[in-house]
């Protein structure tokens, strides 16, 4: 998971006011996020305690839907969407696995089978590697 980004008629919303207060997670939600929304840039202990990635994402994007989703609901939605669309499993079912080469169309079509809409597939500039899939 990279993030859940609310939009309004195709316009990405971010850094909305007022900024919400972030409450550090504990217990089951902490474990669920730690397993599914990994904070790879940070040492594990620091990441679990300070939660910098989740804090950043919530203030930047969660702030724009706080009237509809409180913090727990926002992150629960992210986890449900990950399970619903399960992109890693979808790619595997279409025989798309790390370490091999595939066309943009092969990846696009595989993701579209679960998203039911055109995904936003991005590759790394200068290197022919899959970078991000937006749905």
- Residue-range domain boundaries for the chain: 1-84, 87-134
Tens place of pLDDT per residue across the chain (135 aa)? 888 888 877 788 899 999 999 999 999 999 999 999 999 999 999 999 999 999 999 999 999 999 999 999 999 999 999 999 999 999 999 999 988 999 999 999 999 999 999 999 998 887 788 888 988
Is 116 designated active site? Answer: no
Active-site entry in 39, 61, 71, 131: 61
Q: Is 131 a catalytic residue?
A: no
Residue in 2, 24, 92, 128 annotated catalytic: 2
Q: How high is the pLDDT of residue 128?
A: 80
Residue 94: active-site member: no
The structure tokens listed for 102 are: 């595939």
Topology adopted by domain 1-84:
Ribonuclease Rh; Chain A (3.90.730)
What was the pLDDT predicted at 12? Answer: 81
20: left (phi over 0), alpha (psi -120 to 50) or beta: beta
What pTM does this model have? 0.84
Catalytic residue among 14, 39, 51, 57: 57
Torsion of CA 80, 83, 87, 93, to 10 degrees: -160
């Amino acid at each position: 998971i990279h993030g859940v980004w609310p939009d309004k008629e195709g316009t990405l919303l971010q850094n909305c006011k007022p900024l919400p207060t972030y409450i550090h997670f504990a217990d089951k939600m902490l474990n669920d996020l730690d397993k599914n929304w990994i904070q790879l840039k940070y040492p594990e202990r620091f990441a679990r305690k300070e939660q910098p990635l989740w804090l950043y994402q919530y203030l930047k994007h969660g702030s724009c839907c706080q009237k509809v989703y409180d913090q727990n609901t926002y992150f629960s939605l992210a986890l449900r969407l990950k399970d619903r669309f399960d992109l890693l499993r979808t790619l595997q079912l279409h025989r798309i696995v790390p370490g091999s080469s595939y066309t943009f169309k092969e990846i696009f079509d595989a993701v579209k089978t679960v998203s039911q809409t055109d995904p936003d597939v991005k590759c790394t500039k200068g290197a022919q590697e899959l970078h991000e899939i937006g749905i």
